[in-house]
A and B are shown apart, each in its own frame.
Chain A
């Protein structure tokens, strides 16, 4: 009986020694967080936000009396530009367009796109160009409502917004909002991955 107890104790010691070794810390690749967040952003949004966006973008038919239509039209006119801009989209991060700028670190060309059918001018303002409203004008695709511009950005997090007709600041409807903007119009965030990622 005593010998059996000794064997059991030895077994416990052995298993505990194995477990202790296996409990050693495991570190992930330093780029792990950035890789996860890139996949998170590329793969869409959580269920509730997807559902909310589907609800917002769902086509609807409104039936109004002539008088009601007049009243709604008067109110709607003030916001139609902004709503047209924000209900469509998009932000696209060019996947493989990496190039070198002389004397600088690796940069990536990032394309910004906005659908704005009623706009006359659209520009891109952000922390990368000193929030200039003229430094990065978007160009309208021929025969389309889509405006775009491609600019080189260094790896890291950048905050930006579109400026429509020199006066209306519009966040990118498909990009994350910058949480630090507690006042004024909301801004958007783009994270540019480094060369190693």
Chain B
């Protein structure tokens, strides 16, 4: 039977550093998706995810509910993504400036489906970070507003407004593109 998060944490705190590798393997792919969607490129996403795992390890004793390590780690990741995004904004390396790369990628995958994926990622990148974060948590991570509030520290009414505005903006950006794609 697979060890629980709480058991693995107990082993790590008892001196078995290797046990932490099981926690990394357990959560990396699931949380890589959020980081990738939030930050828009693989390198920044993996750096933020690595940072989250390392910070979680160093603060493992502070994980109050060890059976909910995943949720605790996710809060750290959300913060790392915010920091990474803000740092990049200061460098003026916005998502929009990746447009050339996105267009190139689209050309490499000429099917309509891949083109739509590129359009969606590009539209997502044009949202302000707060709206992008709220949209991803609600519709991609499929969290309740209560869970979102716990993760972000933002009030539920503000989160609802962010999601609403994110949806409106995405519709503006993508309506025309989606109408061109045949129904599955």
Chain A residues with a Cβ under 8 A of chain B: 11, 14-19, 21-29, 32-33, 35-37, 39-41, 43-49, 176-177, 179, 189
Given contacts A15-B167, A26-B33, A40-B53, contact A32 B46 (CB under 8 A): yes
Instruction: Report how far A19 CA is from B137 CA in the complex, Å.
Output: 10
Selected from B29, B50, B136, B167, the residue in CB contact (under 8 A) with A26 is B29
- Whether the pair B32, A28 counts as a contact (CB closer than 8 A) is yes
Q: A21-B117, A179-B19 are in contact. List 14 more A-B contacts (CB 8 A).
A: A15-B139, A18-B139, A18-B170, A24-B117, A26-B32, A33-B24, A33-B25, A37-B17, A40-B20, A43-B58, A46-B60, A47-B61, A48-B61, A179-B16
Which residue on chain B has the smallest CB distance to residue A41? B17
Instruction: Report how far A47 CA is from B13 CA in the complex, Å.
Output: 9
Given contacts A25-B29, A46-B58, contact A177 B21 (CB under 8 A): no
Given contacts A36-B54, A179-B11, contact A15 B60 (CB under 8 A): no
Which residue on chain A has the smallest CB distance to residue B141? A23
> Which residues 49-69 in B have Cβ within 8 Å of A in the complex?
49-50, 53-54, 57-62
Q: How far is the CB of A57 from chain B (nearest CB, A)?
A: 16
Q: Which residues of A contact B24 (CB under 8 A)?
A: 32-33, 36-37
Using an 8 Å CB-CB cutoff, how does the interface string of B147-184 with A read, 1 for contact, 0 for none? 00000000000000000000100110011001000000
Q: Which residues of A contact B117 (CB under 8 A)?
A: 21, 24
Q: Which residues of A contact B58 (CB under 8 A)?
A: 43-44, 46-47
Instruction: Report how far A179 CA is from B14 CA in the complex, Å.
Output: 11
Q: Which residues of A contact B116 (CB under 8 A)?
A: 21
Given contacts A19-B140, A26-B33, A26-B36, contact A32 B15 (CB under 8 A): no
What are 25 A-B residue pairs whose CB atoms fall within 8 Å in the complex? A14-B174, A15-B167, A15-B170, A17-B178, A18-B170, A18-B174, A19-B139, A21-B117, A23-B33, A26-B37, A28-B46, A32-B49, A33-B21, A33-B25, A36-B21, A37-B18, A37-B21, A40-B20, A46-B57, A46-B61, A47-B58, A49-B13, A176-B15, A179-B18, A189-B18
- Whether the pair B57, A40 counts as a contact (CB closer than 8 A) is yes
Q: Verify if B106 is at the interface (C-beta below 8 Å from A).
A: no
Instruction: Report how far A192 CA is from B12 CA in the complex, Å.
Output: 20
Instruction: Report how far A189 CA is from B16 CA in the complex, Å.
Output: 10
Most buried by B among A22, A48, A176: A22
- Whether the pair A176, B28 counts as a contact (CB closer than 8 A) is no
> Which residues 40-97 in B have Cβ within 8 Å of A in the complex?
42, 45-46, 49-50, 53-54, 57-62
Selected from A18, A24, A46, the residue in CB contact (under 8 A) with B12 is A46
Given contacts A33-B25, A36-B54, contact A14 B15 (CB under 8 A): no
- Whether the pair B16, A28 counts as a contact (CB closer than 8 A) is no
Which residue on chain B has the smallest CB distance to residue A176? B17
Q: How far is the CB of A15 from chain B (nearest CB, A)?
A: 5
Q: Verify if B134 is at the interface (C-beta below 8 Å from A).
A: no
Which residue on chain A has the smallest CB distance to residue B36? A26
Q: Which residues of B contact A14 (CB under 8 A)?
A: 170-171, 174-175, 178
Instruction: Report how far A32 CA is from B54 CA in the complex, Å.
Output: 12
